[in-house]
Structure 1
Amino acid sequence: MAERTDAGRSGARKVLGSIVVDSRPLRIPGFRRLWISSMATAIGSQLTAVAVPKQVFDLTGSSGYVGLTGAFALVPLLVFGLWGGAIADTVDRRKLLLVSNTGIAVTAALLWAQAFFALNSVWAVLVLLGVNQAFFAVNMPTRNAVVARLVPEHLLPSAAALTGTMMTFGAVFGPLAAGALMPVIGLSTLYLVDTIALAAVLWAVWKLPAMPPLSGLVRRAGLRDVIDGFRYMATQKVLLASFVVDIIAMVAGMPRALFPEMAERTFGDPPGGGLALGWLFAAIPIGAMLVGLMSGWVGRVRRQGVAVVVAICVWGAAVAGFGLSSSLWLAVVFLAIGGAADMVSAVYRMAILQSAATDEMRGRTQGAFTVVVAGGPRLADLTHGWTAAGVGTAAAATGGGVLVIVLVVLAVVLLPAFWRYRAASVKS
């Protein structure tokens, strides 16, 4: 009887382990420190992500101007994402993280100051957003390259799932908190909370070990390093395809520039902001967080290219459903489904990039990844905002979702190596 009970418990643990997020990467001190520090900043950064488009919309009353935030953020992401990735391959990555995180904190403080002192200049907001995104573009490829030095290859999908889960945790509760607190404490305080939270990241980075290039040669990065990165990626069809399908998903499908207008004019929020705005911004991360919490299975999937393609098609269908929704809660459900699919896609794309690139090129491939992941939605802000100004928010969202499915199928036909891609090994 006791043996049956023990066997039953062992079986239950195995089943639970195949569902619940794999926590093994947290046993590594450096990764655990970075992950814990993201708890505070995950919410703080999302407060700013809501505050910027809301402030722009309040100042202008136009989704077209909200879309313009995408252009002001996209240019520094393109330039500094690629250059920052090259720098991350040629210097101590810990020092580069300290510099870039400090820059992000300073620009967040300046965003707070302009709102607190009622500067009321949409151009000041846009310029500060651009500077903030320049530091962010250097920071992200460096941080991702650091993870690959801390975590063994077979745990990279699990590390990506843990990181994504924590970020989506903030992306869920940050917008909800912003929608609830904005009418009470004011928009400027949201920027201030983000500024304070960034101190946690600086502490975590300070405690990391030095991470110079494996060659031991520290040097300045130049244009040639960026070009070498492009040449390398051009020869790697799987890496190239991973960028292409994500660009399709984000540029054609990400509808967040429509949220301020839809919250107020479709779902009945008051002009000063309210819960509908918070729910719209939180819905995609809610779906992503749920998948992250139940991601114990991700390390067992070998056909990672197929998983990415299917997930992106589900994302497109969900966005199209969101565009057709007239009920807030139905819209939230569709966005949550889209967020779940996007999380699956992100986990496997990150794992493919981490394992398929060599360490001397990892910063540059992560720089390109940052440009795509962060720049794609910014470009989507621009296109969706302007499209909505011409044909309405519903048509902009629905058409974008359908376009995602059409284009990703076409991409797979042209780049079949990605569909056939399998993980080299899967360890339990």
Structure 2
Amino acid sequence: MYFHGTSRINEQNHLEIGGVDTVDLANTYGTPLYVYDVALIRERARSFRETFKRLNINAQVAYASKAFSTIAMVQLADEEGLSLDVVSGGELFTALQAGFPPERIHFHGNNKSYEELDMAIKYGIGCIVVDNFYELSLIEEVCNANNTNVQILLRVTPGIEAHTHDYILTGQEDSKFGFGLINGQADKAVEIALESQNIVLLGIHCHIGSQIFETTGFLLATERIFTKMKEWKERHGFIPTVVNLGGGFGIRYTADDNPITVSKYVEEIIAEVKKHSDDLSIDIPEIWIEPGRSLVGDAGTTIYSVGSRKEVPNIRQYLAIDGGMSDNIRPALYQAKYEAVLANRVNDEIEETVSIAGKCCESGDMLIWDLPLPKANSNDLLAVFCTGAYGYSMSNNYNRIPRPAVVFVENGEAQLVVKRESYEDLVRLDIPIKTQVIK
């Protein structure tokens, strides 16, 4: 079993994270429970930033907060000197509530509303990543109404297909995101932005996919962007000061995953940008990247309590937990795979292979198939690793199941950063119908 960050097995044969026993965490905060290894998040953030610094490159490392957005996480990103990528008014509001500097916020999204853009522009965020022609027109309206201007990047689709699951591909030509780099849409968008009195065009953005284990896609996308930059330089005298190559850096979920190091991603991207900048005889643009999963994914562990067991003779043993697709929908959405241990009996002898079932009323609510474990009993604790990205952020109240609490652990201390939802929380926004008076 591979342990991430500060995770280890302590003298009680319990899983320990950040110097805190997960059994104690479960007893204190209940289950299901998201536990985040803060030291590992800090280490990853510093690895990205220090690689750029070591190579003397102007850069912004923006945490892609869609992976896990809470006030505490945004504060942690600020502590580590990161910028912030938000994709909705709600994520922007969370960032502002956390006191995050608005000039370091980048606003993404393929269908931003007038109200969201108005909010972003009024708070003076650093950059809007524009996704389509409709949004360019909408920004003009908002800027005119506020008598101001705004800095933007144009998101382009470079036609590069990352080696990942089809559902999370975003950089290929047929995508709901961005201006086509090959079909002329990006050229037209550049012309519109350069002619605008309200828009300051900083540069170009692309994002080629997620959970990527090699740099080839990033390098090809960079090459295509710089080919277009040569045309824009000759045609318009436009030289982007920012090239944002997105995120998608992969992490290890299971033994089948083999990601490269943070520094290798960054070093190879920098080398490619340098090469093409030299070819164009321009200064190296500021490089922006947007790690999300690679900052928080393997820093998160979900702790569950084991409940019922079902045996299908000669076929399968099902072991049910007190969570499931309500707190981790990724296995149901795109067959995501995880590793897990019994947190209260980590080193006990493996005695059986079970499939971990969630408690939602769906046949597809299966968290892990065919997991080797010690003989598990009711109330044992199951720790599922690498749930830090898109667990809490995609959690839901299906079957009216309250969302779990979130705890940060670091240096032997635990801090509750999101309270567990109560049943009262579930009905807080409900409005009863008026009772009909029968005369």
TM-score when normalising by structure 2? 0.22
Q: Which has the higher contact order (CA 8 A, sep 6+)?
A: 1
TM-score when normalising by structure 1? 0.23
Larger gyration radius, structure 1 or structure 2: 2
